[in-house]
Amino acid sequence: MRYRRMTPIRTVFRMIDPKALDAAFGRVLAGIAALLGDGDVIAIDGEALRCAAHVTRARLGRGGTFGPG
């Protein structure tokens, strides 16, 4: 087995209890579902978010600043 370097993010992920995370995430989703009306949808799509960020940066200018880059 190869040795994996302990990075700070790896240390954090190792401390997370999977069952507790599942329960907490379930409570969050239940709360969100309670706010939605019949037929309402929330799309969660990382690809769409990346594209939206790219388009926003292009519209704002280089580096996300307002005005010409």
- Confidence band of 52 (pLDDT split at 50, 70, 90): low
CA trace torsion 31, 37, 43, 44 (10° rounding): 0
> Could you report the per-residue pLDDT of 6-38, keeping only the tens digit for each?
888 889 989 999 999 999 999 998 998 899 988
Residue 54's pLDDT is: 65
Domain that residue 28 falls in: 8-64
Does residue 23 form part of some domain?
Answer: yes
User: CA torsion angle for 11, 14, 15, 17 (degrees, to 10)?
Assistant: 160
pLDDT (average), residues 47-66: 60
The number of folded domains in the chain is 1
Query: Residue 44: inside a domain, yes or no?
Result: yes
At residue 43 the predicted structure's pLDDT band, cuts being 50, 70 and 90, is confident
Does residue 2 lie in a domain region?
no
Instruction: Report yes or no on 42 lying in a domain.
Output: yes
Name the pTM for this structure: 0.48
